Every structure is written in C-alpha cells, then in structure tokens.
Amino acid sequence: MDVVVALVVGLAAGAHTATWGMYKDAPYEGFTWPKYLRSVWLSSAIAIVVEVVTGLDTSRASTLVVLFGLTYVIERGLNEFYKTFLREEDQSKYAIPMQFAVRGVVVEQRRRRWLAAAGYAAGVGAIVGGIYALQELGTGVGGVGAVLVVGSAGGWISAIGGAWKDAPHEGFHLFKFFRSPLVALTYAMLLAALTGSYVFIAMGALGYTVATLETHKTFFKPNVPRGKFAGKDVRFPEMLERRRHFLPLYAVIWMAMVVTFVVALTGSRHGLI
C-alpha cells in the first residue's frame, strides 16, 4: 500500500511540474503529450524509489507532505542537470542559454560540460552529505538552530545556479538572489514540525520553494515572458487559450497539498521542533 500511495504522490508532483512547465513554454515551443507526461512518469518512479529506500510510512499526512517535496526537488534536479550538462540542443531559440554557459557563452565542447557536470554533482552531493553528517555526528546543533543552519541550504543551490545562468543576460538582482533561500527557510520551519531528518527538511523545503516560485512567476505574471524566451515570438498562439484547460488540475493539486500540510501540522508529533 505504501508503494501505491507513493505512486499517487509522484503522479501529483509530476503533473504539478508538467503543468507550469507547459503553461510557460507551450506558446513558444508547442505542446505534445509525451513531453507533458515526461515529468509525470519520472516523478512517479522517483516517489516509489524514495519510499522503498527510506521506508516512509505513507499512512501519515506528514509523510505525504515530506514525500511530495522530496519527489519534486529530485525530479527538478535530474531534469535541470540533464538539460544543462547532457542534452544536445540548438540554443538559438532561447534568449538565455539552457545549456551550461560561462559568462553567458555556451560551452560547446562536450568533454568540458561533462567535467563541469561531475563537479556540480560532487558539490551538491557534498552539501547533502554535509547536512546528513551534521545530524549523524551529533554536533549539538538541534531544534531551531539546526533548521536555521540547514533550512536554506537547498535555496542557496537554487540561487547560485540561477544567478550563474541568468545574471550575464539579465543582470544581478539582489532580491531575486536571496528570494530562494528565504522561501526555503520558511518551508524548512514548517517541515521541521513534521520530520526530524535534516536532509528531508532541507531538500523538501527546496522542492516546495521551486513549486511556489514557479507558480508565482507562471500564473501571477502570465503576460510576462520567461527570461529564456524574452523577445522571442509566440509561435503557437493557440496555446495561450488551450493551456487554460490544465488550470483546474493544477489548482486541485495545490489545494490537496495545502490541506494535507494543515492536517499534518495539526497532528504531527514527529518533528524536529
């Protein structure tokens, strides 16, 4: 039953990601079901693997909240890693390159991109490993102090990566840079009431941070093109209307997670704080 519940959580997380991704990109790139469902299938597999590896008890609302955040961040991490370092694609259709670039110039040589990929993966692994070690080694840092230490860690990964990619083209924006760590810290404080795992808190908080910020940028500023398509022509204008059909699904997923979050927070006794 835990696997079945994990599958449902993964489907929800994947549909959430796929919907905002389609909503912002489809007018410029078009829509296909295989592309839309890619994140859905990947998130489903990730959620099941996470549940099997960690043995999470999916009968608790707190577990569902944590699993959704973990699934979200792992799927986003794998997807962005692939697009940045491994995928071969014509970058001329983008205003901001999606492949790995240095000072805004795409690194064309595959070997250099792969070396950068290895370094990036090692860096993220070191951060996650450091968070895990902080708890396992018994440093004496706990409670609110631990949340303050690890809570924004994932947000800094997002902030630094975003600035590396966008700043050479859009300039450096101080508020934008600190936005992800601050939102992640807020979510970390909530997740710390549901789980005692530093890694779950840090990575789950980043998952919810991505979901929140992408929702704001996509649906609260629908007429502002995303940076990567700034100045580009809308090639599929029919999608400006067609994409609206997916909004009820997106809203239902958000409502379900908010309700689950509230239920978890009111009944949890398993958190760090």
Structural domain boundaries in the chain: 2-267
Tell me the pLDDT tens digit for each residue of 68-113.
999 999 999 999 999 999 988 887 777 778 888 887 788 888 899 9
- 157 versus 257: the higher-pLDDT residue is 257
Q: Does residue 102 sit in helix, strand or coil? A: strand
Residue 6 confidence (pLDDT): 97
Whether the pLDDT of residue 230 is over 70: the answer is: yes
DSSP state of 105: E
- 213 versus 146: the higher-pLDDT residue is 213
Residues 6+ apart with CB under 8 A from 225: 28, 231, 232
Whether the pLDDT of residue 272 is over 70: the answer is: no
Strands of the chain, DSSP E: 101-102, 105-106
Residues 6+ apart with CB under 8 A from 5: 51, 58, 59, 64
Whether the pLDDT of residue 213 is over 70: the answer is: yes
Query: pLDDT class for 139, splitting at 50, 70, 90?
Result: low
Whether the pLDDT of residue 164 is over 80: the answer is: no
Residue 118 confidence (pLDDT): 95
Mean pLDDT, rounded, of the chain: 88
Q: Does residue 31 sit in helix, strand or coil? A: coil
Residue 58 confidence (pLDDT): 92
- 28 versus 271: the higher-pLDDT residue is 28
Residue 100 confidence (pLDDT): 85
Whether the pLDDT of residue 168 is over 60: the answer is: yes
For the stretch 112-138, what's the b/e string if a residue is b when 16 or more beta carbons lie within 10 angstroms of its beta carbon? Answer: ebeeebeebeeeeeebbeebeebbeee
Residues in the chain: 273
Q: What average pLDDT score do residues 174-192 get?
A: 87
Residue 188 confidence (pLDDT): 92
Residue 270 confidence (pLDDT): 63
Query: In this structure, how many other beta carbons lie within 10 angstroms of the beta carbon of residue 102?
Result: 11
